[in-house]
C-alpha cells in the first residue's frame, strides 16, 4: 500500500485524520500506525478526527474503540472529534456502544479535552 497514513504531530499529541471511504485493511493499518507512533514518540494524547467520514459501520467503530483502548494501555488519552450528526444517529440506532469513547465537537475542543484528561492522569503517570 502506497497511501500515507494520515498522522500529524502537535506537541504531545498525535492527530489522526480519517477521511473518505476506508476499506477494512486501511482502517487496521492506520490503527497499527497510530499505536506504533504513540509508543515511539511517547505521545500523551491522540486526537482522532472523523469529520471526513460519511459512514462509520460497526467494523470501523470497533477498530476506533479498540484503538482508544490500546492508546490507554500505552498511558495516553484519546478523544474523537467531528463526528457527523447523521453518523452519530446511525451508530446509536445500530447499537454500537461508544460510551467509553470521549467525543468533542471540533479539534479545538478536542485538544482542550485532551489537556484536561492528561492533567487528571498526571498524578499517576509521571
Partner 1 sequence: MTPLATAAEPRAPGEAPTLVQITGEADLLRVRSTLRAQAQVAGLGLTAATKLVTAGSELARNIVRYATHGQGVVLVETAEEGSRRGVRARFSDDGPGIVDLGAAMTDGYSSGGSMGLGLPGSRRLMDEFEIDSVPGRGTTIVICQWNR
Q: Which residues bind partner 1 (CB under 8 A)?
A: 21, 23-25, 54-59, 62, 84-87, 89-90, 93-96
| CB-nearer residue toward partner 1: 7 or 65 | 65
Task: Give the residue among 31, 42, 39 at the shortest CA–CA distance from 68.
Answer: 31
Least distance in angstroms from the C-beta of 26 to partner 1: 10
| CB-nearer residue toward partner 1: 59 or 121 | 59
| CB-nearer residue toward partner 1: 94 or 112 | 94
Residues 2 and 78: their CA atoms lie apart, in Å, by 27
Residues 65 and 30: their CA atoms lie apart, in Å, by 13
Least distance in angstroms from the C-beta of 25 to partner 1: 7
- For residue 100, with 0-12 CB atoms within 10 Å meaning exposed, 13-18 middle and 19 or more buried, which class applies? exposed
Amino acid at each position: 500500500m502506497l497511501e500515507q497514513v494520515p498522522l500529524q504531530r502537535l506537541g504531545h499529541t498525535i492527530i489522526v485524520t480519517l477521511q473518505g471511504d476506508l476499506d477494512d485493511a486501511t482502517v487496521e493499518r492506520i490503527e497499527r500506525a497510530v499505536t506504533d507512533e504513540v509508543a515511539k514518540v511517547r505521545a500523551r494524547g491522540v486526537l482522532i478526527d472523523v469529520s471526513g467520514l460519511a459512514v462509520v459501520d460497526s467494523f470501523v467503530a470497533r477498530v476506533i474503540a479498540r484503538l482508544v483502548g490500546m492508546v490507554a494501555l500505552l498511558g495516553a488519552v484519546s478523544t474523537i472529534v467531528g463526528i457527523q450528526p447523521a453518523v452519530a444517529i446511525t451508530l446509536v440506532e445500530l447499537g454500537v456502544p461508544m460510551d467509553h469513547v470521549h467525543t468533542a465537537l471540533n479539534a479545538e475542543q478536542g485538544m482542550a479535552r485532551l489537556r484536561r484528561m492528561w492533567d487528571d492522569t498526571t498524578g499517576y503517570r509521571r
